[in-house]
Chain A
Amino acid sequence: MIPLMHSLILATSLFIIGLFGALIRRNFLFLLLSLMVMINGALIAIVAAGAYWQQSDGQIISILVLSTAIAESCIGLALLVKMYHRRKTVNIDALSEMKG
């Protein structure tokens, strides 16, 4: 049995890695990947909590969240394609046109 703390530390570190990736990277593709990493971190925390309390709710929620995350990344990828089509770049800052 893996202790709860270990899985929570893994989840937090994944979340933070994803967060910093989302903050730092300018590449839209990596942005989407970082978002996925963050969501995965959250999912691990949920699953670990469910296992801790001996309940299957956590796993059900994780499947739901995973499906929404996939939908979200699909939209993101579509936007990425559209953006690349228009701007010939994947740099997200190229879209910053409203100047604040």
Chain B
Amino acid sequence: MNLLYLTIVIPLLSFLILICLGRNISKENIIIVGISTIGLVCVLMLFVCIDYQTNTYPDTSLIYSRLLWEWFSIGDTKISIGLQLDGLSLVFLVIISLFCLLIYSFSAYYLTSSKDTYTFFAYGNLLIASLFLLVLADNLFILLLAWEGISISSYLLIGIYYHKRQVSFSAIKTFIIMSIADAFLLFGIFLVYNELNTLNIRDVLTLANQNLAIDSEIIFWITLVFLVSVIGKAGLFPFHTIFTETNIAPMPVITLLQSVMGILSSGYFILRLSPLFMMSSDVFVIMGAVAGVGLIFSSCVSLVQNNIKSLVTYINLSQISYLFFAFVIQNWVLSLNYIISYCVTSSLLLLSSAILIKICNGEQNIHKLGGLYRRYPLLYGTFLLSAASLCAMPWVMSAFYTKGDIIWALVTKEKMGLGIIALIGVLLSSLSILRLIFTVFHHKQKLTTFTPITRYSYIPLVILVLMSTAIFNYLPLPIEGIIPNVDFNTKNQLILQILLAAITILSILIAYILFFDINSEIHEISNTPIGKAFLKLWRNEWYFNQLLELVFVRPYLYLAQLIKKDPLSQWNQIINWGIRKINFQIDLLENGRLRWYMMSIVSGSIIILLLLILF
């Protein structure tokens, strides 16, 4: 376990190697470097897991912590760089390395050009390094460092096709919004330090428990600020732009960012600080409201998208809300399970649509595709299973248990409104994925030429499909004693499970009626004034970007225009002008005429004489 720091160093080294040499080496070598990096990390993970299992430490919550060096000190505060491993970190480390391995091996077949490949692997390695740093950090300040690393690497990843103007704009937009979230984390760190005089996470948690009152104002503000920054990283409703802007990147990047980066970093953060969050009940109300709004927002938008990428993105966005629902009911074990389930589902969905887009020569409009199920049964199967996972197919998919439990807990904890929203979300997201499937796989075939794809690309998909089924439900996670365990009322849960099953069947029915054939009813519905208005609203993503533009961008530009000339420097200009005028006048005196010089001497002496006489 002493080699733990290598998990951060290896990806960083690989990042440096690729960024320096990637331009000059062939695609195969780039792939070898990229895959071997993550492979090495996975081997290390294996050793760490074995170490963890065989350790006979008396305490069940084994903490491995190691001080690497002291970074800097201000006054009495010492900021040290140290690593810390416990069960929670271990779970996240394993998830990160496993999913990155899957995505990397997929992208080795998927990415074609050598330039994309090396930039993807390089920046991906940077992202992995920052994620590992985040998970292993023992100190809030290191956590901030890791978050900044995540911001910068997602900026780089989105901007892989940077020579396109739109891509650069998206990358910058993402980076700015993420930086706002990071600034909130910084505020939170300041607040914590101001109250508790320490930044070490374990100390913060114990001291907060001892010194601060539950539901006190300071706790509320600390957790609120942390919540805002977490929402910013996860891409939940007001910050969802960072999530949707990833659309513009290549598919493996989208997968890496959407299914690994956002949810794991934010989920880890809240789970790690869960004792702090549990001290403030008001924040959970805000969290629930934000998650609910985000769920409705994104699932409505996903219902009308025609582009495969943005459809899948909005579906994933709506799924993130369930994680926050799990946090709202303060069932931390369940939320950890949901994180795994989300990662599996979203990467399954994204990787299958990556293959779909690749097969159809880069065509992304679902209405230009059709009738693919006979030709690509395997792809059809993976899509169906991801749909089943999304609509929480009863008793088959693991998502049924996690999502069902979340909804059940919402209902039993007297958060009926959120429960209903969650159920509507299930219905809407399954409708939108079924719309995609029916349109792409069942309608009349429109494309004639297809790009062939190797069978190896399906390997990660098969693994993901296996993981998404109920076989891997409730893994034995070593989190005893680290995050608080909440007793869970499973009485009468069968009613809810039957309800979920009914919703699944209902959504399949509705989708079948509406989308299976090219249906006149859809046109009738969408041609009514209300239908038109809603369609327009949802196609334009509730005009949220326009709102942002109106509220933030326009005033900013106006202000910038206003102070472009720098009003403060006007004073300097006046002084400048005056000096120049005086200079001009004095300049006139120096004309080479002796008479003028005499005149000035005389007037000077007169003045002196007068002064002498007067004083």
Contact = CB atoms under 8 A, between A and B. Distances in A.
A100 B602 contact: no
Interface string A1-20: 00000000000000000010
B164 interface: no
B602 A23 contact: yes
Contacts of A22: 598
A99 B595 contact: no
Contact of A96 (B590, B593, B599): B593
Nearest to B596: A23
Interface string B27-68: 000000000000000000000000000000000000000000
Contacts, number: 15
B590 A23 contact: no
Contact of B592 (A23, A24, A98): A98
B599 A100 contact: no
Contacts of A100: 590-592
Interface in B550-595: 590-593, 595
A29 to B, nearest CB: 16
Interface in A12-44: 19, 22-24
Contacts of B593: 93, 96
B591 A23 contact: no
Nearest to B591: A100
Nearest to A31: B595
A92 B74 CA distance: 79
B136 to A, nearest CB: 78
Chain A CB within 10 Å, residue with most, of B591, B593, B595, B598: B595
Contacts of A19: 602
Nearest to A26: B595
Interface string A82-100: 0000000000010010111
Contacts of A99: 592
A83 to B, nearest CB: 15
A96 B593 CA distance: 7
B602 A96 contact: no
Nearest to B599: A23
Q: What 3 A-B pairs are tightest by C-beta distance, nearest first?
A: A100-B592, A99-B592, A23-B595
15 contacts: A19-B602, A22-B598, A23-B595, A23-B598, A23-B599, A23-B602, A24-B595, A93-B593, A96-B592, A96-B593, A98-B592, A99-B592, A100-B590, A100-B591, A100-B592
